[in-house]
């Protein structure tokens, strides 16, 4: 089960923070926790493994160009499945934005949230074809015109 998804740039600025599970942390505690996780992932070398255990949470991350996609998961989660989810999410964002970049995420945050919501429900990855998930988001675009 996924607990959160973070998208951060190389400088450590969080561009998207999506929590899938409610916890007992305050907003400030959650912010500090996310900032520490981002710092730990960015500080690692490229040759190091993409899995970290931090405060009883598995942190799985992947770097695409200048963005880090960081997922926090339960201890029993399969790391390779989470990496597959990250790949799927990046492919969906690339397809929607035609090569996603940091500015796409900044200026279309609502759309990014919609796409992630189509791929994850209550912390569980939804096995839905990417084209169907994106079709729902495209319908929202048409409805707003």
Q: What is the pLDDT of residues 65-124, one digit of tens each?
A: 889 999 999 999 999 999 999 999 999 999 999 989 999 999 999 999 999 999 999 888
Query: How much is the average pLDDT of 30-50?
Result: 93
Statement: residue 127 has pLDDT above 70: yes
Q: Are strands 57-64 and 67-73 parallel, antiparallel or unpaired?
A: antiparallel
pLDDT reported for residue 79: 93
Would you mind telling me the total number of residues written for the chain in this entry? 145
Report pLDDT for 135: 87
Better pLDDT: 142 or 115: 115
Per-residue pLDDT at 145? 65
Give the per-residue pLDDT at 18: 94
| Predicted local distance difference test score (pLDDT) of residue 50 | 93
Confidence of residue 23 (pLDDT cuts 50, 70, 90): confident
d(CA 95, CA 25): 35
Cα(123)–Cα(24) distance, integer angstroms? 16
Report residue 128's pLDDT band, with 50, 70 and 90 as the boundaries: confident
């Amino acid at each position: 089960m996924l607990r959160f998804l973070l998208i951060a740039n190389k400088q450590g600025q969080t561009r998207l923070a999506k929590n899938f599970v409610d916890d007992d942390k305050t907003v400030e505690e959650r912010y500090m926790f996310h900032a520490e996780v981002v710092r730990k992932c960015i500080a690692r070398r490229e040759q190091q493994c993409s899995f970290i255990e931090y405060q009883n949470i598995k942190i799985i991350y992947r770097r695409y160009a200048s963005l880090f996609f960081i997922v926090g998961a339960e201890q029993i989660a399969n790391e390779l499945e989470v990496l597959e989810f990250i790949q799927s999410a990046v492919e969906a964002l690339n397809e929607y934005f035609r090569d996603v970049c940091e500015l796409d995420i900044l200026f279309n945050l609502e759309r990014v949230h919609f796409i992630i919501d189509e791929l994850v429900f209550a912390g569980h990855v939804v096995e839905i074809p990417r084209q169907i998930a994106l079709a729902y988001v495209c319908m929202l675009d048409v409805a707003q015109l």
